[in-house]
Each structure stands twice: as C-alpha cells, then as structure tokens.
Structure 1
Amino acid sequence: MILGFGAVMGGLVLLLWAGRAEPVPHLSVDPGLFPTGIGVAAVVVGGILMAVPGRTDAPVVPGPSRAGLIGAGLTVGLPLLLALTLDRIGFALGLPMVLAPLMIRHGVHPGRATLLAVGLTAALVAVFTGLLRVPLPLGPLAGGLPWR
C-alpha cells in the first residue's frame, strides 16, 4: 500500500515535470516523452499495488547477513562498473553483463535471465538508436551493427 502510494506520487511528479519540459531544437522527439512514459507506468503500477491486498505471510525480521551484503554490493557495484567502462565495453555488450547476474541473484533461472537480459538490451538499443535516434556507446561493436 505504501509502496503503491509512493509510486503514484512519484509518477505524478514526473508527469508534471515532463509537461513543463521545453522543446529542444536538435531532438526529433519532445524531451518529455520518456519521462511521461515512465510517469504513466509508475502511476499504473502504483495504482495496482494500492488496489491488490498485501500478502499476509509471517513477518520476517530483517537483519544483516552476508548474502544481503553481497546482494547490495552487486546491485550497486555492477551498474557502477558498467558506467565506468561504458565507452570501452559498449551498451549492447555491457548491459546484459549487468542484468543477467542481478536477475540470477534474485532467483531467476540462469537461462531465462540471460534471454531476458539480451532481449531487453536489444529492445533498448532498438528504441534508443532506431526510434529516438539517440547514439549509444557501442564499444567493440561500433561499425559492426547492420542498422548503423
């Protein structure tokens, strides 16, 4: 319930901010397009989270554990490592190497995590380079992609 309310409020703030975005002459799309999509998705997901009753499992007493610290380290460390090496590795090769281990860490089967990571990366590359015409660092794949 609280998470849903936070998502709805965050989505509304994002929608208000995106509505005030000034057009930029060198962009072919409105700069508020991507924040608007994220804001609408946050409002919808937040509404669903508020409408669906929460689980009534026995409460779990949180405490520090080695597994939790490793998970937190991976969650923070892998994206930071990608950000630091993005020009060298490239978006299309680096993002699956971040997403797959994180999904596996959170219990997704390794084969499914790999397919999801590669598919999501391919979709993001297609949207950003093909639809939005935003250049992404391609690393060793520069000049080797058929649609470039």
Structure 2
Amino acid sequence: MMKFNDRVIGILAILGGIAIISGTFGFREAPGQQFGSGFFPRIVGAAAMLAGLVQVLAARDRGPWIRIAPELRSRDAFLKLGVLAAVVFWLLTVQMLGFLLTTTLVALALSVAMGARPLPATGVAAGLSALLWLVFGMVLRVPLPRGLIEGLMSWT
C-alpha cells in the first residue's frame, strides 16, 4: 500500500481549490441574477483551499512524504502501473494516430508485458482493434477518432 503524508493531501486540496477557482473566471454572468454561474464553484474551491490549509497545518506526521510498501515494488505492481500508463497513452495519442493504430499498440504492449510472445500478440492486438472498430465504428456508429490507417480506407 502507498501512504501519503497528510501534508501532501493538504497541498493537493489547496491546488485543487486554486484550479476550481481559476476555472470560473471564464464563466459568463447571468443578467438579472444576484449570483453568477461562478459563485458556487468558487465557494467549493475556497472550501477546498481552507480544508487543505487546515490539513497542512494540523499534520503531525514528520516522516517521509510518500511511503511505498514492499508489495508495490513487485512485478504485479509494475503491471498495474503499466495498465494505467497504457490508458493515459491511449487518451493522449488516439486523436493523432487514430483508433485502430493506437488501440493495436496499447493491446500489443499490454500483451507483451503480460508475457505473450510478440508475433502472436501482434496478430491478436490487430484483430481485436479491427473487431472493436467494426462493432463500435461501423455497426453502432460511434464516432471513433480517424488517423493514419482510417485515412487509407476510403469506404469508412
């Protein structure tokens, strides 16, 4: 298990409150209304900042900021982190590379990380991506991001 020092949680709450408040500056004011659309989010942001400040000031733990248990230093923990990294990679690159290529790369990387041989894993990853694209993109008409491969297919 990973344990964060109370100060880390407090600092994250303060930063979250700042982000909430800064996000409200672009909100429009409603004509004829006493409170604008940013009023209540600013209250929530200020409350988060206040709670974070109290958390930082009241923290008694003087130890390290983050403690990582030995169980998280194993291969299983590495694989769990790899899944999270794969999801983040997919979200960051799918608009540029397209659904088919990005999904194939992610499925291939996860399969190889789990111990599959690269050549069969490539075929399975490509087939899985094509099947998902066919079901969601063609049959269910879900708009999937187009990329390099989808641009070559004129019938999509």
State how 1:1-148 maps to structure 2 within 5 Å: 63-148=71-156
What 5-or-longer segments of structure 1 have no aligned partner?
Answer: 1-61
Q: Pairwise CA RMSD of aligned residues?
A: 1.9
Q: Percent identity?
A: 32
Q: Distance in 2 between matches of 1:84 and 1:147?
A: 26
Q: Distance in 2 between matches of 1:88 and 1:101?
A: 18
Q: Distance in 2 between matches of 1:142 and 1:119?
A: 15
Q: Which amino acid aligns with 2:107?
A: L
Q: Distance in 1 between matches of 2:129 and 2:150?
A: 16
State the Cα distance separating 1:127 from its structure 2 match: 1.1
State the Cα distance separating 1:65 from its structure 2 match: 2.8
Q: Measured at CA, do residues 111 and 141 of structure 1 come closer, stay the same or move farther in structure 2, by a change above 3 Å?
A: closer
Partner secondary structure for residue 121 of structure 2: helix
- What TM-score does the superposition give when structure 2 sets the normalisation length? 0.50
State the Cα distance separating 1:140 from its structure 2 match: 2.4
- What TM-score does the superposition give when structure 1 sets the normalisation length? 0.52
Q: Which 4+ stretches in 1 moved above 4 angstroms?
A: none
Number of residue pairs aligned between Structure 1 and Structure 2:
87
Q: Measured at CA, do residues 142 and 103 of structure 1 come closer, stay the same or move farther in structure 2, by a change above 3 Å?
A: closer
Deviates more, 1:106-115 or 1:86-95: 106-115
State the Cα distance separating 1:76 from its structure 2 match: 0.4
What 5-or-longer segments of structure 2 have no aligned partner?
Answer: 1-69
State the Cα distance separating 1:70 from its structure 2 match: 2.5
